[in-house]
Amino acid sequence: MKPAKTFLLLTALLLQNIFLFPQTGDKTQLALTDQSGNLRVRFSYSGNVSQVPINGRIIVGFQKDLRKSVNPDIFDPQPAFAMDVKDWKPGETVVMDCFNAVRQKHELDALDGWYAVQAIMVTGHNTRILTDAIFRQGDIAVTNKNIVYVDKGKMCMPLDLLFNLTPGPPVFKETETVRKVSIRSELLTQFYGEEDSLLAAVILPASYQKDEDRVYPTVYIFGGWGASIYSGLGFQQKRYGMSGYGNEKIFVIVNHECRSGFHNFCSSETNGPREETFFGELLPYIEKEYRVNRDPRTRFLAGQSSGAWAALWLLVNYPDRFGGAYAGSPDPVDFTEFVGTNIYEDGANMYFDREGVEKRLPNLRINQSDSTDRGLAVRDLVAIDRLAGWGEQMYSFDATFSRCIPGGGPTHLFDWETGVVDPSVAATWDSYDLSLKITHLDKYHKQALQSKIHIYVNEYDLFDLDEAVKCFRDILDRERIDADIQLFPSTGHDVWTDDLRKEMHHRMDSTLKAIEQ
C-alpha cells in the first residue's frame, strides 16, 4: 500500500515548456469563470493525440510550490480536479467546471496565489491514469506545465490547456547480469480479448556466466505500490540484498501492475487468471531459460506492501511449491482490521466509527512537527481513487477481491463518498481474507506451511498494517502453524534494513543447507 505519484515519471520523461505570467499582470481580467465565479479550465488536443473522437479521463493539478512537479499526492495535498470525456472530437474544446468536478482537496476560494498547473489524460480504461500510463505508449497525453495566478478561486487570465505530448516507449537497459523478460500471455490475451504479456526483470549472480554448470535458487520479488521493472530497479536490488548477502541466488523482479491496479497474482473476475499465469507461463519460462534449481523448496518469495501480500497469497495457497515467503509491511492480511475497519461488522463504515468520529491514520502525518496533526483521514487516503476513477489503491483492492459487474468494473467494498461498507460485497471478500484462509486449510497444507511464513512490520506502520498482522499472528498461533512474525518498535512503512536483509538471506541459506543434507 503506497500513495500514487502522479507526474513524477512524467516530469522526468516529458518536455515541459513553462509560460510564466508576470506578477504585475492585470488581475481585473477575470477569465473563464461563469457568473457564479466558478473556476473553469478549457481543454483541446492536437492531431498527434488522436484523429478520431476519444473517450477518457482528465486530471488537472495545481501545485503551490513552483519548484515541484504537479503531483496529486497524499503526502503533499494540493488542489486537483478530474472529469471524464466522451466522444470528444478533434478540433473541439471541452470545459472543466472545477466546482462540479471530482476534487482531491481544497475549496475553490482557497486557491490563492501563484500555481504550477498541468493536466494528464488517459484515453481508455485499459491503462491506469496515475502510474501505469507512462509505460503504455499511445494511451496518454499531457499538457505543458503552466504558471498561473489564482485570486481566491478566480484567475487573472484565461487558462487554455492543450494536450499534445505523449511519452516514448519505456527503455529497459539490459546488462550481462540484468535481463528483461517479456512473455506473451495466452491466458491473459484470451481473458481480455487483446494482446497482453507478463513482464519481469531477472537479476543474475556474478558467477552465472563463469560457472556454466551451476544451478541457483530463485527468489521471486514483488514490489510495493507503484514499483515497476522500468523504474527503481537499483533500489529493488539494494532493498532485497541481491548481491553481497548470503549465497548467490537468481532474483526475478515481477511486474504485478495491471490496468486495474496491482493484481498480486491473485486470480479474480476483474483481473483474470493471474495465479495460472504465474505457474503456467512465468515460472516455466524462467526455469527453462535460466539455470535455476527446479526443486520447489529452493524457490522463495519476497515483497513489500502490496507485493508482500502477493507473496503471502501464493505461499498460503500453494505452500508445497515454495521454500518460504518474506513479507515486509503486507497489505491487510486480516479483514477485521482493514485500514482500521472490520468490514464484516454490521453498519461498518470506512470513514467514521460508531460514535461518528472520523477515522484517521495516526502515524501518517503530513507535518510531523505539528503536534495538532492527528494523521491523515481515511477519506483523504481514498481521495486519490476518487480523482483517478480507476486503478488506484482502493480500486485495486476491489478488482482483486470483489465480484465483477457485468460489462463493467468491480463492485466497490464501500461508497467512496460516504465510507459506508456494502455488506453483500464484504461477504464475498472472505475468500481472500488470509486469516480465514488459514483456518480453512487441511492438515496437509498446514504442515506444508510450517516455518515458511516470515512477516516484518513496524509497530507504528503508516497505514496501520501492523494491526492486521497482529490478528494474523494470533490465527497462526491458534492453528499451531509456526511462523516468524516480527514487529519492530519503529514508525514507518519501509522495514528493510541491512540487518533484515542479512537475516532473510541467512534463513534462506539455512533452508537450502537443510535440503542438501
User: Are 223 and 346 contained in the same domain?
Assistant: no
Confidence of residue 406 (pLDDT cuts 50, 70, 90): confident
Give the residue, 360 or 168, on which the prediction is more confident.
Answer: 360
pLDDT tens digits, one per residue of 90-123: 889 999 988 888 887 667 778 888 999 989 888 7
Q: Are residues 318 and 190 in the same domain?
A: yes
pLDDT confidence of 460, banded at 50, 70, 90?
A: very high
- The amino acid present at 301, given as its one-letter code, is L
Question: φ and ψ at 429, to 5 degrees?
Answer: -80, -15
Distance CA 346, CA 348 (A): 5
Residue 227: inside a domain:
yes
In the structure grid, which three cell numbers stand for residue 466, read together? 501492523
Do the Cβ atoms of 468 and 499 come closer than 8 Å?
A: no
Q: If you average pLDDT over every residue of the chain, what do you get?
A: 87
Q: Do 470 and 328 share a structural domain?
A: yes
At residue 127, the pLDDT reads 65
Q: What pLDDT, on the 0 to 100 scale, is given for residue 18?
A: 34
Residue 69 domain flag: yes
Q: Above 80 in pLDDT, residue 38? A: no
What's CA 355's distance to the chain center, in Å? 32
Q: For residue range 200-239, what is the model confidence (pLDDT) as tens digits?
A: 999 999 999 999 999 999 999 999 988 888 877 899 999 9
Q: 465: helix, coil or strand?
A: helix
Query: Alpha-carbon distance 271 to 262, whole Å?
Result: 9
* 469 and 401 share one domain: no
Which of these ranges, 35-39, 187-191, 226-230, 384-388, has the smallest mean pLDDT?
Answer: 35-39
CA 88 to CA 104: how far, in whole Å? Answer: 24
Q: What is the DSSP letter of 21?
A: P
Among 378, 405, 432, identify where a domain stops: 432
Q: Please indicate, yes or no, if residue 171 is contained in any of the structural domains.
A: no
- 271 plus 123 within the same structural domain: no
The H-or-E segment that residue 61 falls in is strand 54-63
Same domain, 401 and 412: yes
Q: Residues 36-64: what's their mean pLDDT?
A: 85
Rounded to a whole number of angstroms, the CA Rg of the chain reads: 24
pLDDT band at 166 (very low <50, low <70, confident <90, very high): low
Final residue in a domain of this structure, among 432, 452, 474:
432
SS3 510: helix
Same domain flag for 321 and 462:
yes
**Residues of the chain above pLDDT 90, percent:** 62
Residue 225: which domain range?
178-334+433-516
Q: Is residue 364 part of a domain?
A: yes
The three grid cell numbers given for residue 27, joined into one nine-digit string: 488581475
The verdict on residue 282 lying in a domain is yes
3-state SS track over 390-452:
CCCHHHHHHHHHCCECCCCCECCCECCCCCEECHHHHHHHHHHCHHHHHHCCCHHHHHHHCCC
Do 195 and 324 belong together in one domain?
yes
Whole-angstrom Cα distance, residue 312 to residue 453? 8
pLDDT, residue 23, reads 29
Tell me whether residue 307 is in a domain.
Answer: yes
Q: How far apart are CA 387 and CA 123, in angstroms?
A: 15
* Residue where the block lists cell 505543458: 144
H/E stretch holding 221: strand 218-222
187 and 281 share one domain: yes
How far apart, in whole angstroms, are the C-alpha atoms of residue 205 and residue 216? 9
Indicate if the pLDDT at residue 447 is higher than 90: yes
Average confidence (pLDDT) over 280-306: 97
For 274-281, the CB contacts below 8 A with 24+ separation are 275/314, 275/317, 275/318, 276/187, 277/185, 277/187, 277/188, 277/198, 278/314, 279/318, 279/321, 280/187, 281/183, 281/185, 281/186, 281/187, 281/198
Both ends of the chain: CA-CA distance in Å?
40
Per-residue HEC secondary structure of 77-113 comes to CCCEEEEEEEEECCCCCEEEECCCCEECCCCHHHCCE
Among the candidates 95, 130, 163, a domain finishes at 163
Closest CA to 298 of 324, 333, 280, 317: 324
DSSP letter for each residue of 244-284: SSSS--EEEEE--EETTEE-TT--BTTTBSHHHHIIIIIHH
**Assigned domain for 173 exists:** no
Whether 54 maps to a domain, the answer reads yes
Alpha-carbon torsion angle 257, 127, 463, 441, nearest 10: -50
Q: Is pLDDT above 50 for 20? A: no
Q: State whether 213 and 109 are in the same domain.
A: no
Number of domains within the chain: 3
> Is the same domain home to 41 and 132?
yes
Q: List 358's β-bridge partners, or say none.
A: 352
Judgement on whether residues 187 and 320 belong to the same structural domain of the protein: yes
- Grid cell listed for 491: 514508525
Higher per-residue pLDDT: 105 or 421: 421
**CATH number of the CATH domain containing 278:** 3.40.50.1820
Higher pLDDT, 354 or 75: 354
